[in-house]
Amino acid sequence: MVSCSDGELQIETIDFDDEALDFCGTATTQTELLFKLKASEALILDLQSGLLQNEVTGDTLESPIPAQSQLVYRILSEDVSDSYFCDAIPPVVPSVVEEIPAESGTVYVFTSQNPNDTTQFEHRIWFKDVSFVNEAGERLTNLTVDEFGTLQTSN
pLDDT of residue 9 exceeding 80: no
pLDDT tens for 107-116 read 999 999 999 9
* Beta strand spans in the chain (E): 2-5, 8-11, 14-15, 22-23, 33-38, 41-46, 61-65, 70-76, 96-113, 120-132, 143-144, 147-154
Are the C-beta atoms of residues 111 and 55 closer than 8 Å to each other? Answer: yes
Average pLDDT value for residue range 19-38: 95
pLDDT of residue 151 exceeding 80: yes
Which pLDDT does position 32 carry in this prediction? Answer: 93
Residue 107: C-alpha distances to residues 34, 61, 111 (Å): 12, 8, 13
What is the Cα–Cα distance from 32 to 40, expressed in whole angstroms?
A: 22
Which pLDDT does position 11 carry in this prediction? Answer: 67
Which pLDDT does position 143 carry in this prediction? Answer: 66
Percent of the chain with pLDDT over 70: 89
pLDDT tens for 57-106 read 889 999 999 999 999 999 999 999 988 999 888 788 899 999 999 999 99
Confidence of residue 139 (pLDDT cuts 50, 70, 90): confident
Which pLDDT does position 97 carry in this prediction? Answer: 93
pLDDT of residue 42 exceeding 70: yes
